[in-house]
Amino acid sequence: MKKILSAGTEDALPSAVATTEQVGNLVQRVRKEQQMTQFDLASLAGCGNRFLVELEKGKQTVQMQKVLDVLALLGLEVVIRKKGS
């Protein structure tokens, strides 16, 4: 997927997230910084608008691969590491 992250966004991102609500808030914030609607992002990601609404609301049962696809499209990635490191 094409990376479309705008310059300067990375500096404001949290270093860790622990809840689906935090992931949803982050997705929403970055999407808005890139001046995209939910419909725009859903179309680019190949998912439904409803999925994106649920993701941004922090729904705990969203499909992981779709979440990863949306994050990648926004220029974000998931990094797994030991807590506190």
Q: CATH code at 48?
A: 1.10.260.40
Would 38 be classed as within a structural domain?
A: yes
For the cut 60, the answer to whether the pLDDT of residue 2 exceeds it is no
7-39: per-residue pLDDT in tens?
A: 444 556 777 899 999 999 999 999 999 999 999
* pLDDT given for residue 69 in this prediction: 96
Range of 55's domain?
19-73
- Is the residue at 51 inside a domain? yes
3-state secondary structure the chain: CCCCCCCCCHHHCCCCCCCHHHHHHHHHHHHHHCCCCHHHHHHHHCCCHHHHHHHHCCCCCCCHHHHHHHHHHCCCCCCCCCCCC
pLDDT over 70 at 67, yes or no: yes
